[in-house]
Amino acid sequence: MTEEAEIDKILDLAKKLVDSGLLDVAAAVLDNKEEILSEIADWLQNNGSLLKNFSTVFSALSKLDPDTMRKARGFRDLVVMLNDPDVMAGLSFLLNFMKAIGESLHE
């Protein structure tokens, strides 16, 4: 690619950014980067458990393989599965999650 073609490509990109309004947004972000980073840092500090919970859920989802999952075929199978400490930990997490959602709905 020639230098002239590269300059044309950059100018075309700049025009698209101006037309879409993204250039103004990018400029505002750069002008206020310290305040924005401070707000992000504060949010991360105050919401660490949220991030940890998302990480836990996504980690668990990545381990699921529907083809190898144990399937309960009756009440007895459910009782056997409830004796598994991992199942109980997962159920406890889900129940606490549902409780938090319910509490949030009442606020």
Percentage of the chain beyond pLDDT 70 is 100
pLDDT, tens digit (0-9, with 9 covering 90-100), for 48-82: 787 787 888 888 888 877 777 777 788 888 888 88
Token representation of residue 55: 């990480």
- What 3-state class would DSSP assign to 26? helix
**Residue 91 CB coordination number (10 Å):** 13
Largest CA-CA distance found in the chain, in angstroms, rounded: 74
Residue 28: its pLDDT value, please?
Answer: 92
Q: What pTM value is reported for the model?
A: 0.44
How do the domains of the chain map onto residue ranges? 1-46, 49-107
